Amino acid sequence: MGMRITTGMAMNTYRYNLQNSTWNLTNSRNKVLTHRKFTSFAEDPSSAIQAWRVRRAMMSTESYQKNNSDTYTRMNIAWVTMGTIKNKIADPDGRMSDLYAANGPTGSGRRPLGQVINETAESVIQAMNSAKSGEDFIFAGDDELNAPFTWNADRTILYYRGVNVNAGGVKSPAEAPKWAPMDANGKAADNPDDAALAEAFRKNIPAGETDADRQWADYYKDTTGTATKPTSTAPDWVPKEANGDAVENTDAKLAQAYKDSLPAQGSEEYTQMSSAERAWVNYYKDDPAGSPKPDDAEPKWAAGDKDDFGVPMAVKDILDNPNATEYDKAWAEYYKDQGDVQKLKDMSEEEANIDLGMGLLEDADGKLVPGTYFNRALPGINMLGFGLDKDGDPNNICMILKRLGEIYSACDADTGDYASPQDEEDAMRLLNKLKDGVSFITDRYSDIDAKGAFLQQNETRLKMQGDYLAEQRADLEDVDLADAITGFSWDYYCYSAALKVGTQLLSQSLIDYMS
C-alpha cells in the first residue's frame, strides 16, 4: 500500500519551493535594476573588499582632481597678472622712453617721465593686490586673507605684509660713517685722539681760490710745525678762537675744530642724519658727556631675551621711548632692520603644500619629501624682489621705478638737467638694474607658466587614472546586463510556473478532501 501524501506535506514543500523562486526572482530583479553583482558584503566578500579599495582610490582621485583644478585656476590668474606686469614694464616703447630720458637732447621729457614711472610702480602693486581666487589673495604667501602689499602715507615705502621690502638698508652703528676720522689701523679714531681728529680736519681743507686761501691751507696742512701762520685775513673755513683770531696749527686745536665742524644737535643737517650717524656725532662732540663709541661692544640690553627673528625684546621699548639716546636708537633700529630681513627671507620661503596625487611622503624627520607634493604658494616678494643689493639699491622692481621716478621728477622742467651729479649717476645705475629687474620678472612669469603646464599634465593623468579606476570598479561590481536580463527572465518563468503548480495542487487537494 503506497504512502499517502497529505495536503499539509504538499503545502509545506510547495511553500518552500515558492519562497526560493520568489527570492531568486527578487535577486534577479535587483541586479537588473541596480546593475550590481552583489548588494551586501556577505554575498561576495572578496569582490567587496577589492571594490572598497577601488572606490576609496576613486574618491581620492576625485579630490586630487578638484585640488588640481583649483590650483590651476590660481596659477592661471597669477600667470595672467605677471604677464600683464611684464608687458607693462618691459614694453619696448616704455624702455625706449627710459633710454631717451638718459640722453641730453631729449632730457626735457624727464619730469613727465618721472610721473609715468611713479604711476607704473603703483599700478604694478595694484595688479598684485587684485590677483584673487575667491577670497584668497594669490600673492600673499600663506596669509591669503589680507592684501600682500601696502604703501606708507606718501607712497615712498612699500611693505609686504607689514615689512619694508627694502629691509637691510640700516647700517650697523659699529660701521663708522665715511666722514669719521680713522686711526693708523683704518678704524674709527677714539675720542680724544687729537692726531686723528686733526688729520680729519686737514683732509677737508678746501684748495682755495686766492693766494691767501692757499696760504692758509698750506699752513694748516703742514704737520712739521715749521709753517708760518699767514698774516692775511683768514677765510671763512678757518677755525677761530673766542676772540676771533685763527687757531694755531696744533693737533689739539685742529681736533677741537673738527669737533666743532660737526653739526650741532637740533640742526637741520643733524636731523637729516640717521640715528647711527647722530650717535657718532654725539661721540666725537662728547655731547651729551660720556656718549659711548658706537663701535664698542653692543649695548647690554641686547643680551636679553630675543624673539623668533633674533631681535632683542628691549628694541620695541627703546623705539617707543622719545627720550632714548641716539646710541640706543641706532642699535635698536639696526636690530629691527635685521629682524625684518629675516622675516622677508622666511616669508619668501613659505609653502602652501597640497596633495595632487604624487604620494605626499614624509622623511624620518617628518618633513615632506620633495616631488611628492605641490607647493601652490606664490609670495609676492618672490615675484617682485626684496632687500638691497651690494650698492644699496633696491632689488624690488617697483622701488627701482619709484627711485627713478623721484630722480626724473626732480630734474629741471625746461632743460631736463639732473638736480645733482649724484642723481645722474644714480639714474644711469638704476636704468641698468631696471633691465635686470625686467629679466627677473620674466623669469618669474616663466616659472608660473611651467607650473601651469605641469598642472595641465597632472590633470590629464588624474583623468586617465579616474577612468581606469572606474573600469576596474565596473568589472568588480557591475553585472553583464544581457546576462542579468536573461537570468531575470528565467527566474520569472520559474516563479510563474510555481504559481501555476500551486493552483493545480490546491485544486487536487480540495477534490481529494471532498471525496
pLDDT per position as a tens digit, 342-378: 999 999 999 988 999 888 888 888 888 888 889 999 9
Instruction: Provide, for the chain, the percentages of residues in helix, strand and coil under a 3-state DSSP scheme, each rounded to the nearest 5.
Output: 60, 5, 35
pLDDT band for 507, please (50, 70, 90 cuts). Answer: low
Beta-bridge partner residues of 240: 246
Q: What is the pLDDT of residues 114-147, one digit of tens each?
A: 888 899 999 999 999 999 998 899 999 988 889 9
Sheet of strand 163-164, all strands in order from the earlier edge strand to the far edge: 149-151, 158-160, 163-164
440-458 pLDDT, tens digit each? 999 999 999 999 999 999 9
* Burial of 140: CB neighbours in 10 Å, binned 0-12, 13-18, 19+: buried
Is residue 105 predicted with pLDDT exceeding 70? no
Packed helices 421-477 and 45-90: angle between N→C axes, nearest 10 degrees: 160
Q: What is the pLDDT of residues 462-496, one digit of tens each?
A: 999 999 998 888 778 767 777 778 877 887 878 78
Judged by DSSP in three states, 308 sits in: coil
Distance from C-alpha of 319 to C-alpha of 332, rounded to nearest angstrom: 7
Say what the pLDDT of residue 430 is: 92
For residue 167 the three cell numbers come to 629691509
pLDDT of residue 6: 63
Structure confidence at residue 160 (pLDDT): 96
pLDDT confidence bin for 328, thresholds 50/70/90: very high
Q: Taking a C-beta distance cutoff of 8 angstroms, is the pair 77, 138 a contact?
A: yes
Confidence of residue 412 (pLDDT cuts 50, 70, 90): confident
Q: How far apart are CA 76 and CA 81, in angstroms?
A: 9
Delimit the domains of the chain by residue range.
Answer: 58-142+350-469, 175-261
- What's the pLDDT at 403? 93
- What are the phi and psi torsion angles at 394 (to 5°)? -70, 145
pLDDT band at 25, cuts 50/70/90? confident
Share of the chain above pLDDT 90, in %: 38
> Among positive and negative, which fits the CA dihedral 308, 309, 313, 316?
negative
Cell digits of residue 248: 694755531
Amino acid 128: pLDDT: 96
Q: Would you state the pLDDT for residue 42?
A: 75
What is the C-alpha radius of gyration for the chain, rounded to an integer number of angstroms?
Answer: 43
d(CA 181, CA 255): 10
User: Which residue bears the cell 593686490?
Assistant: 129
CB 158 within 8 A of CB 398: yes
Helices (H) and strands (E) in the chain, counts: 15, 7
> Cα–Cα distance between 394 and 435 in angstroms, integer?
13
Query: What's 236's DSSP letter?
Result: T
pLDDT of residue 96: 44
- How far, in Å, CA of 119 to CA of 402, rounded? 9
Please give the Cα distance from 325 to 309 (Å, whole number).
24
Per-residue pLDDT, averaged over 295-316, amounts to 88
Which alpha helices (H) appear in 91-190, and where do they start and end?
A: 92-101, 110-130
Mean of per-residue pLDDT scores for the chain: 85
Task: Note the pLDDT of residue 277.
Answer: 92
Q: At residue 385, does pLDDT exceed 80?
A: yes
What SS3 state is found at 275?
helix
Kindly indicate the confidence band of residue 70, based on its pLDDT and cuts at 50, 70 and 90: very high
Q: pLDDT above 70 covers what percent of the chain?
A: 92
> Does residue 132 contact residue 139 with C-beta atoms inside 8 Å?
no
Weakest mean pLDDT among 53-57, 260-264, 495-499: 495-499
**Res. 400 pLDDT band, cuts 50 70 90:** very high
Q: Name the more confident of 370 and 67.
A: 67
Q: Which of 143, 145, 160 is nearest to 352 (CA)?
A: 143
Tell whether the model's pLDDT for residue 35 goes beyond 80. no
> Of 183, 205, 204, whose CA–CA distance to 192 is shortest?
183
Higher pLDDT, 13 or 222: 222
In what helix (H) or strand (E) does residue 149 lie, and over which residues does it extend? Answer: strand 149-151
Confidence bin at 304 (pLDDT 50/70/90): confident
CATH code of domain 58-142+350-469: 1.20.1330.10
